[in-house]
Structure 1
Amino acid sequence: MTDQAQHLRTQLLNELTAVGVLRTDEWKAAAGAVARHDFLRGGFFRNAGGAAWEPVLQDDPGWLEACYRDESLVTQIAGTILPQDIRGQILREPTSSSTLPSLVLRMLEDLQVKPGMHVLEIGTGTGYSTAVLATRLGDDLVTSIEYDSDVAGRAGAALWEQGIHPTLVTGDGLLGHAEGGPYDRIIATCGIKTVPAAWMEQTQPGGLILATIGGWLHASELARLTVHEDGTASGPLLGGQVSFMLARPQSPPPLGLLPDLGAGTERQTGIGADVLDDWTARFITQFAVPNAQRLMLTRDGRNEHVLVDVVTGSWAAVYQDSGQWIARQDGPDLLWDTVEEHLDRWHAAGKPSVEKGTVTVTDQGQTLTW
């Protein structure tokens, strides 16, 4: 490693220690032994304004300095496109990235790992967090699974070049990796809509699952769940509005043909659609209507906030009329009634912060209580 890279890495870790992200000497030492730039030699994309992205390659000015800023760096666009594939700009969605170091290290601290524990990582990505894990615990105690075979191949090459040899698996991380279990800890570096049953089955009773629970309304929080003897799991939300790209198999499907939004029954509602502008309220709404997607439509000269359940076909349209919020809904489930019920319980509890919430996962689904 160059002196400049070593200086930049030390400076970054000292900054993260000063703000309380790095809380233990063990994780600081592990992170200090791993060069993040070695996992970004293929370059990355930087935002060029709005939805535009432009490549930054290893030989470009500022590449090394960017590798050691506390920023997420996009490494893949649209599922296949790499920085070296582009000249100029591209207007597509990011699909893989190197997570900002402060979040990687915060999550490793929050995982509460002890020496000798076996860890399954969901989402190898560039391999940086895998390297830090393996440096701390040892190669034989770390298994990492990556959905994208090309991403997995690049991560494996970067790890092996540094002499780090954890167990690497290419496959659907939502299924875990039963052959390597049971695990003491599972950590997910992708967002999930629901906690997979496979993860609970593959975790030792008393073990922990650390994952970002989110959804199609784009609000998410980090949860640390303890797996119980009866196969259920529960635990607190840790706060911070942590956000990851959703696991690809849980990405929202296309809405397709919309239902007849002029049908249904209308009523006044005490909770307007503007509540969905609040992160916590939107997070709670995802537990209420987990299969709903949100869109804005203009009908009859007014803006309507629409929720559509892509599984049942139920829908709700909420709009303002003379200062009063009106909800129109139809389908087997009354979506806005369900949203109101969950938000009313939150209001009755005094609108506590997410850190006061507890997530419980059973074979019947997952719930959020205060």
Structure 2
Amino acid sequence: MTDPVNTSQQAAVGGLLRAVGDALGGPVPAKWGDAIGAVPRHRFLPERIWLEDGKGGYEPCDLQADSGRWFEAAYADVPIVTQVNDGETPEDPADAWPSSSASAPSIVVRTLRELDVRPGMNVLEIGTGTGWNAALLAHRLGAGRVASVEIDSDVARQAWASLNAAGLDVDVRCGDGAEGWNRRGPYDRIISTCSVRHVPWAWIEQTRSGGIVLTPWDNPMLCWGLLRLTVERDRAQGRFSPHSAFMLMRDQRHDLRIFRDVVRDEHVPAESGTALSPWKVTGDQWDARFALGLRLGDVWTAWEDDEERLWVATTDARSWAAVDRNGGQFTVGQYGPRRLWDEVEAAYRWWEGHGRPAPERFGLTVTGRRQWTWLDHPSRVAGAVRR
């Protein structure tokens, strides 16, 4: 006799695999397709998830109250917010902001494919989240081969319960992922499910020579990109690729707002003009934004009044610039020790002068003392050197 529940789940998994294959431009690799079928995504989601409300915010969706919508979201190729406001449920859903999520399955498969794991390898995951990514790895590698670190105790507890219920042997530790998990190292692979602006040296120290560290990348200008580093004796280096956007590691976050933290009534900006449209360095100009983010390091942007004014500021909140449309030109106001719009213009000219490079032409080198981004070759420094 046919089990309708199992049949429905199989159909949902099949639909998800087709959607992931469409996103990847080809079939899901068999080893990961088998894993997705063996560890169903919905079994790693909390009963309450948060879905986009169509107004730029999020609204709760509960399994008991709306099982159809909940199950449909579980098997759609979309990210799902699983926690808001670091676990503090807001009184008004309009005040909800994502703090933990289940990544879109196509992104999960893309990153696992880049990780290039093989039987017998030991893997450390930074950011357990729902536990589904660790479950896929454990299904592929076997018992005792996967460890995971999660900073949020409630998230870690729920992930461990889901992994245990699935019969998967994954060590889950509640702690700061930036520190890795030295007791279980060295690892053949380290994969982060949260983005970073600075690669923790502990990850490099805990990876075998020849091993790989794979992490989503973020800079204040744009959260976008995947970084794949190969570990050498005293350093690690590798290149970026596009296609990923993950939540930033908690201890690297900045909660900055223009009028609360940056601009003051007593500030008197220096005024000038520019021919560079602010839309060329924002919006859908992904390659430009990525390159400018690497070049400038600590600069972020925000739009005001339905994209009538672009604000540019530093993460230390000491310098800012505002760009307004003025006919076919733009007026600029700049304040602070740095002339930020001048820096943006110079970085944009640099990007254009080097052939408008996409993320794949950029790389990063990490040592115990500093790390720097480069264009085409490690000797061609492209961005701020971070210590």
Could you tell me the TM-score, scaled by structure 2's length? Answer: 0.84
Of the candidates 109, 113, 117, which is equivalent to residue 113 of structure 2? 109
Asked whether 1:185 is paired with 2:192, we answer: no
Deviations 1:240-286 (CA, angstroms, capped at 9, x unpaired): 2x111111212213344435585354444453422222222222222
Amino acid at match of 1:336: W
Please say which of residues 182-191 and 216-225 is displaced more in the overlay.
216-225
Q: Tell me what 1:12 maps to.
A: 16
- Whether the aligned pair in 2 keeps the contact of 1:54 and 1:90 (CA below 8 Å) is no
Q: Tell me what 1:70 maps to.
A: 77
Distance in 1, matches of 2:110 and 2:124, equals 17
Q: Tell me what 1:283 maps to.
A: 290
- Whether the aligned pair in 1 keeps the contact of 2:151 and 2:176 (CA below 8 Å) is yes
Asked whether 1:124 is paired with 2:131, we answer: no
1:128 to 1:213, Cα distance in 2 relative to 1, 3 A: same
Q: Tell me what 1:44 maps to.
A: 49
1:114 to 1:52, Cα distance in 2 relative to 1, 3 A: closer
Deviations 1:163-210 (CA, angstroms, capped at 9, x unpaired): 112111111112212222222211111122222222222222222121
Q: Tell me what 1:244 maps to.
A: 246
Please say which of residues 94-103 and 349-358 is displaced more in the overlay.
349-358
**Structure 1 outlier segments of 4+, above 6 Å:** none
Deviations 1:299-337 (CA, angstroms, capped at 9, x unpaired): xxx954222213271223333445334444343433333
- Whether the aligned pair in 1 keeps the contact of 2:46 and 2:82 (CA below 8 Å) is no
Of the candidates 217, 221, 231, which is equivalent to residue 217 of structure 1? 221
Deviations 1:44-76 (CA, angstroms, capped at 9, x unpaired): 222222114132314634133332221212111
1:144 to 1:21, Cα distance in 2 relative to 1, 3 A: farther
Distance in 1, matches of 2:58 and 2:72, equals 22
Amino acid at match of 2:214: L
Distance in 2, matches of 1:315 and 1:45, equals 34
Q: Tell me what 1:30 maps to.
A: 35
Amino acid at match of 1:254: L
Q: Tell me what 2:380 maps to.
A: none
Of the candidates 170, 175, 180, which is equivalent to residue 166 of structure 1? 170
Please say which of residues 197-206 and 56-65 is displaced more in the overlay.
56-65
Give the deviation of 1:291 after TM superposition: 2.6
Q: Tell me what 1:92 maps to.
A: 96
Of the candidates 148, 151, 168, which is equivalent to residue 155 of structure 2? 151
1:201 to 1:335, Cα distance in 2 relative to 1, 3 A: farther
Of the candidates 277, 298, 302, which is equivalent to residue 295 of structure 1? 302
Calculate the aligned-residue CA RMSD, in Å: 2.7
Asked whether 1:56 is paired with 2:59, we answer: no
- Whether the aligned pair in 2 keeps the contact of 1:147 and 1:172 (CA below 8 Å) is yes
Distance in 2, matches of 1:22 and 1:81, equals 40
Amino acid at match of 1:220: W
Distance in 1, matches of 2:209 and 2:340, equals 36
Of the candidates 205, 209, 212, which is equivalent to residue 201 of structure 1? 205
Q: Tell me what 1:365 maps to.
A: 371
Specify every segment of 5 or more residues in structure 2 that has no aligned partner in the other structure, as ranges: 377-387
- Whether the aligned pair in 2 keeps the contact of 1:22 and 1:106 (CA below 8 Å) is no
Distance in 2, matches of 1:247 and 1:281, equals 24
Amino acid at match of 1:43: R
Amino acid at match of 1:288: R
Distance in 2, matches of 1:342 and 1:305, equals 17
Q: Tell me what 2:144 maps to.
A: 140
Distance in 2, matches of 1:201 and 1:21, equals 36
Could you tell me the TM-score, scaled by structure 1's length? Answer: 0.87
Aligned residues: 362
Give the deviation of 1:366 after TM superposition: 3.0
1:349 to 1:311, Cα distance in 2 relative to 1, 3 A: same
Distance in 2, matches of 1:205 and 1:53, equals 45
- Whether the aligned pair in 1 keeps the contact of 2:364 and 2:371 (CA below 8 Å) is no
